[in-house]
Amino acid sequence: MSAAFRPSTAPPDFVSAPVASSGPNLAGGTAYHYLSTTISTKGDYGLYRVDMGPEVAGANTHFHKAMSESFFVLSGTMRLYDGDRWVNATAGDYLYVPPGGLHGFRNESGDPASMLMIFAPGAPREEYFEGITRLADLTDEERAQFFLHHDSFFVPDN
């Protein structure tokens, strides 16, 4: 097969339980929908829909050494950090972050927001998204190892 069609009616491969508030990373009512995983694309890329509730949620300023990340806003207003400044992004806005590029994202609008996140090459982000629900249960050393293992390096926020 040379292509794989996924109709809009197809359920995601996995939908995470909403992530509760915890640590410097993600918070409040965020659910991940796995659309194209590392396995289904044979490592080429990962595509995930992220639905955030009205609570303040997102990831503080960070970078990845070995992968690029892109954000495409589907609905609502997301705050995206482009390495220089935070901008308000709405439906149709897009941010590409090369490997090593500082970035972050937040829903601070008080309303639900949804976006696509794309990682290339297809790092195993599924384990990361599922693991962040347990950050509060980890020691500081375990949390640091978790982020290192998942190529996520946080820096002081701007």
Find all residues with CB under 8 Å of 117, minimum gap 6, and list them.
46, 47, 48, 49, 50, 69, 70, 71
Assess contact for 82 and 103: CB atoms under 8 A: yes
Please report, in angstroms and rounded to a whole number, the separation of the first and last CA atoms in the chain: 46
Domain spanning 14-152 has what CATH number? 2.60.120.10
Specify the pLDDT at position 15: 76
pLDDT for 73-130, tens place per residue? Answer: 999 999 999 999 999 999 999 999 999 999 999 999 999 999 999 999 987 788 888 8
pLDDT for 6-34, tens place per residue? Answer: 788 887 777 766 655 433 344 457 888 89
Average pLDDT over residues 31-59: 90
Give domain limits for the chain.
14-152
Average pLDDT over residues 30-43: 88
**pTM of the shown model:** 0.85
Number of other residues whose CB lies within 10 A of the CB of residue 145: 12
Strands lying side by side in the sheet with 68-75: 14-15, 30-36, 46-52, 113-120, 68-75, 94-97
Specify the pLDDT at position 18: 61
Specify the pLDDT at position 17: 63
Specify the pLDDT at position 134: 84
Assess contact for 113 and 56: CB atoms under 8 A: no
Specify the pLDDT at position 24: 39
Specify the pLDDT at position 158: 64
